[in-house]
Amino acid sequence: MKIAVVGTGYVGLVAGACLAETGNDVICADIDQGKISRLHAGEIPIYEPGLEPMVERNLREGRLTFTTDVAAAAAEAEVIFIAVGTPPGEDGSADLKHVLAVAETIGKSMPDDGPEKIVITKSTVPVGTAAKVKDAIRRHTSRAFHVCSNPEFLKEGAALQDFMKPDRVVVGVESEHARQRLGELYAPFVRTGNPILFMDISSAEITKYAANAMLATRISFMNTIAQLCEAVGADVGLVRQGIGTDERIGPGFLFAGIGYGGSCFPKDVKALVHTLQATGVDAAILEGVEKVNADQKKVLLRRAVERFGDDLSGRTFAVWGLSFKPETDDMREAPSLEVVRGLVKRGARVRAHDPEARDEAAHYFADLLAEGALQLCEHNYDCLEGSDALLILTEWLAYRNPDFDRIRESLAEPVILDGRNLWDPARMAGLGFEYTSIGRTPAAAPAEAGAAAD
């Protein structure tokens, strides 16, 4: 099948590579000449495990190509995915200008003959967008075409697995032709029996936002329960096990921490709040989710202030983890943005490490680097020497079983503020640390342990 994917961001690039991997001829189009030049050279602009070799393989075998000519790509393809960005506007609504611009280009480039085109919104868009896309195309052509909604459910860090072996494929269609052709397109991905869920377009558009809002709600709910656990001396990890083993609830997205970030949850929750308000539906539950998350991102900053005072002049803090989650270099809406800037604002210096997000951090914190208030370290242990405390912001595997003796000996004080609950409090106390995590009782080393550590 000849496919065009317009937009080579996270969703478009993953979709294009995976569709090429199953034998389709895929053209990925983007107006960013620099990005397309890099992709032609095999340079991937994002970090996603397994994506680079997949792109290189399909480029080499001729199934995947890149172009800046969006009109030509659309004219040649039977199936066209729109995967451009939908950034939030000032009111939280999704900005559809890029989506509708692509739709107009598709309409203008519609050939006089050939198979009926199927245009698919892959971008995360509010309900009603497919109708707007259809109108934008129709203004420029009298040819028959089909507009569909096919939301993505990709987790950064596991996107290839999610696309190649999805737990479900959601497709909103309004014609039997589109249903048949998209069933054929996705058949290789659901051979194990997971469903392709065909539904009306509006339901498909809502499904994407509802899924992300539900997951964000679970995270904020557990962070609220974590606050209760801290107040009464309970352990949120045990509570998580207690409710996560209930088959009606399940264990996913129940880990307490310092809040969600990334390109999806914050933007999608805001957009759904806007849609609810615009349709007269009470958005209180999701407004609460947003508030809890915004507060939770500042938890470690507040704890640093409680421990060392509001004036942090002369203090240095080590930070492990800058990306919003492990296995990605994405720092959009990451808690680290709040924490690092909050520490520096109070006079502290920060030494930070992340296995993949160093280049992104150099962009987000360019001013702090120029001022000398932030140092990006090549290795995680480089951050520690003489620092007043270690803050854990991202749960990378490389941080899970470190050399604790080296950490304790390097820090000026054996203080760890853990925003991801990597380690057991009792064990940390026994190792000589003053250890504070999320939703669990803080632990301090007994006097004899501290003396032994010295």
Packing angle between helix 265-278 and helix 284-296, nearest 10 degrees?
150
What pTM did the predictor assign? Answer: 0.91
Kindly state the tokens that stand for 216: 């964000």
For every residue of 62-110, DSSP letters joined together read TSEEEES-HHHHHHH-SEEEE-----B-TTS-B--HHHHHHHHHHHHT-
Q: For the segment 182-217, what is each residue's pLDDT rounded down to a tens digit?
A: 999 999 999 999 999 999 999 999 999 999 999 999
Band (pLDDT 50/70/90 cuts) for residue 454 is very low
Band (pLDDT 50/70/90 cuts) for residue 447 is low
Q: Is 108 a residue whose pLDDT tops 80?
A: yes
Q: How many residues does the chain have?
A: 454
The per-residue pLDDT for 373 is 98
Q: Is 446 a residue whose pLDDT tops 80?
A: no
User: Does residue 226 contact residue 236 with C-beta atoms inside 8 Å?
Assistant: yes
- Tell me which architecture the domain covering 2-199 has in CATH: 3-Layer(aba) Sandwich (3.40)
Return the CATH number of the domain spanning residue range 209-295. 1.10.1040.10
Q: For the segment 241-285, what is each residue's pLDDT rounded down to a tens digit?
A: 999 999 999 999 999 999 999 988 999 999 999 999 999 999 999
Q: For the segment 314-348, what is each residue's pLDDT rounded down to a tens digit?
A: 999 999 999 999 999 999 999 999 999 999 999 99
Compute the distance between CA of residue 79 and CA of residue 105 in angstroms, rounded to an integer: 14
User: Does residue 392 contact residue 321 with C-beta atoms inside 8 Å?
Assistant: yes
Main-chain phi, psi angles of 213, to 5 degrees:
-65, -35
Strands (E), 346-406: 349-353, 374-376, 389-392
The per-residue pLDDT for 361 is 98
Question: Does 264 qualify as catalytic in the annotation?
Answer: yes
Top pLDDT among 412 and 88 is at: 412
Mean pLDDT of 127-139: 95
> Quick check: do 2-199 and 297-453 share a fold?
yes
Helix (H) or strand (E) holding 220: helix 201-232
The per-residue pLDDT for 453 is 47
Packing angle between helix 201-232 and helix 129-138, nearest 10 degrees?
150
| DSSP 8-state code for residue 144 | -
**Number of Cβ within a 10 Å radius of residue 34:** 10
Q: For the segment 44-68, what is each residue's pLDDT rounded down to a tens digit?
A: 988 999 999 999 999 999 999 999 9
Compute the distance between CA of residue 151 and CA of residue 392 in angstroms, rounded to an integer: 33
Residue 12: half-sphere exposure toward Cβ, Cα within 13 Å: 29
Residue whose C-alpha is closest to residue 205's, from 260, 123, 276: 123
Q: Which of 18, 148, 264, 383 is catalytic?
A: 264
Task: Give the start-to-end residue ranges of the domains of the chain.
Answer: 2-199, 209-295, 297-453
Kindly state the tokens that stand for 54: 């997949």
Mean pLDDT of 81-105: 91
- Tell me which architecture the domain covering 297-453 has in CATH: 3-Layer(aba) Sandwich (3.40)
Strands (E), 219-355: 316-320, 349-353
Q: For the segment 403-445, what is each residue's pLDDT rounded down to a tens digit?
A: 999 999 999 999 999 999 999 999 999 999 999 999 999 999 7
List beta partners, residue 145: 117
Band (pLDDT 50/70/90 cuts) for residue 93 is confident
Give how far the C-alpha of residue 93 lies from the chain's centroid of Cα atoms, to the nearest Å.
19
